[in-house]
């Protein structure tokens, strides 16, 4: 069982640069063809400060930084048993190439179901940018399967 003492665990904040090459790569893999994801002129014509990060792009930060793996180690979870249960993004302002985002996450709940056969870790993350704007909130639930 995951020790519930980890509720409230908050790793150091991550600083993550939003790179246009990475956005273009992501857009190509997922099949996004709107030029706001690849062309600065098109993005500005659409009213953005710069090339736009697609809706789920910022989820890359906790993976890139190693925060996700660190969380799994800290909570002593077997990576092979982890599934993504839920994911939500609340958007407050656009994220554009050239931004530096700050992610502050916190474990907000740990619970189990089916007599402990399934364990759940809830993580909430506040995302702000270099202008001090609160750009998004991430709400993640990971599931640990036993047996």
Q: Which chain residues interact with other proteins by CB under 8 A?
A: 22, 25-26, 28-32, 34, 36, 46-48, 52, 54-56, 59-64, 69, 79-91, 94, 139
Q: How far is CA 8 from CA 15, 41, 81, 107, 108, in A?
A: 20, 43, 22, 5, 6
Least separation in angstroms between residue 91's CB and other proteins is 6
Least separation in angstroms between residue 48's CB and other proteins is 8
Q: Which is nearer to other proteins, 9 or 120 (CB)?
A: 120
Least separation in angstroms between residue 61's CB and other proteins is 7
User: How crowded is residue 18: how many other Cβ atoms within 10 Å of its Cβ?
Assistant: 23
Backbone phi and psi for residue 66, each to the nearest 5 degrees, phi listed first = 90, 0
């Amino acid at each position: 069982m995951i020790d519930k003492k980890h509720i409230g665990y908050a790793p150091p904040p991550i600083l993550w640069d939003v790179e246009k090459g990475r956005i273009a790569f992501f857009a190509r893999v997922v099949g996004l063809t709107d030029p706001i994801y690849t062309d600065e002129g098109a993005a500005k014509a659409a009213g953005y400060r710069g090339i736009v990060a697609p809706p789920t792009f910022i989820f890359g930060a906790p993976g890139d930084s190693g925060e996700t793996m660190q969380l799994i180690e800290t909570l002593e979870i077997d990576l092979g048993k982890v599934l993504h249960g839920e994911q939500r993004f609340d958007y407050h302002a656009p994220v554009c190439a050239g931004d530096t985002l700050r992610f502050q996450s916190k474990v907000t709940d740990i619970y189990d179901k089916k007599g402990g056969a399934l364990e759940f870790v809830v993580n909430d993350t506040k995302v702000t940018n270099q202008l001090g704007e609160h750009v998004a909130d991430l709400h993640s639930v990971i599931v640990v399967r036993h047996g």
